[in-house]
Amino acid sequence: MPNVEDSVTTLVRLLDNNMRLVKDDGSMGSVYVSKEWFDRDFMKTYDAQVTVGLSGSIDRKIGFSGSKRLTVDSPRVNVWVVEKSGSVQSARRIRDKMRQEIKRIIREKRTKPNITEYTFWNLGTNSTTHKAYEATSDSEYDPEDAGWSEIEGVGYNKIWYSDDDRHSNSADVNLEYALLLFRFKIAAKPDVLTKLELTFEGYGTAPSGNGATIKVWNFTSESWENAESGTEGTDETITISLTSDFADFVDADGYVYLLARTTNPSDGSTPAVIYCDYVECSITVQGITYVDVVSHRDNDQVDVKPIIWRTEFLLKTWLFETVPVT
């Protein structure tokens, strides 16, 4: 039975993973999301900070026995933006954009705040979280093998979206496969997970047959496991779904590794080619299953220099549990 994740931790991950601050010039803003409280030092390198804390909680029983429980939390979310001299865009304008972004995320994810989808959107070779690599070999390299090479920046761009713009890797040597390796960093402990899904959108071609095969790395057995395959020579979606033994597939740093390769090798004359359009890691945690905005208000601090533009949201979340009566 998985442990229950608290609502604040779930909301920090929800906001951090889905935040899209687009400035007026089209560039992406940097936002630091954390548990409370505001830290002025972060504003030296970030455009905004978002903090999440708990202002109250109510525990209710459902039914006479009390074995069914409903926990209603009241989290508070604060947006903090500091006025900076020489900034192209005003802090107040950024705060206003952040206010709308918080509302967008909560509204869109209100019935599934405990589900997080990790993708390569807006990432490149400077990423410190998710990474993508490629290789050719007659065997399946482990994640730490020196034979892997990180894909180039343009390759990352091609796997940002499901848009038919694909990254490809080709193997030309007889009996060698074209390989891709994807590293995801998830922000949840294995003991709160109820589901982990790895999804690959793409395909493989080879002289002896089309198709791509994907596998997930088991850190305990030190092997690639849970193989799933496709047979097409055009885009198809292949998924590995895990519902138990998560500690075997998520390491202490939160890393999960997905291998994708051509199902069949090259014959030395015709290459084996693996194509990737999009790749994703989705996690579901045992925790809140509903969130919504109750209210929000601006609470700017204009009596300090530099001015702090601040908006505070009050949310409500629901957590349903079955608690054994002994």
pLDDT in tens, 24-61: 888 899 999 999 988 878 778 899 999 999 999 999 98
Nearest to 181 by CA among 230, 216, 152: 216
Residue of 274, 283, 284, 286 lying closest to 255 (CA atoms): 283
Q: Is the pLDDT of residue 88 over 70?
A: no
Report pLDDT for 139: 98
> Span 103-118, mean pLDDT?
98
- Token pair, residue 170, equals 């080709």
Evaluate whether 288 touches 7 at the Cβ level (below 8 Å): yes
Topology, domain 7-114+287-322: Alpha-Beta Plaits (3.30.70)
pTM over 0.85: yes
pLDDT over 80 at 298, yes or no: yes
Say if residues 198 and 281 touch (Cβ distance below 8 Å). yes
Confidence of residue 195 (pLDDT cuts 50, 70, 90): very high
Helix or strand run (H / E) with residue 324: none
pLDDT digits (tens, 9 = 90+) for 123-148: 999 999 999 999 999 999 999 999 99
Residues of the chain with CATH 3.30.70: 7-114+287-322
Residue 39: name the closest of 82, 8, 10, 76 by CA: 82
| Stretch among 74-88, 210-224, 311-325 having the lowest mean pLDDT | 74-88
Question: What is the fold of 118-285?
Answer: Jelly Rolls (2.60.120)
Of the candidates 251, 231, 229, 250, the residue with the CA atom closest to the CA atom of residue 240: 229
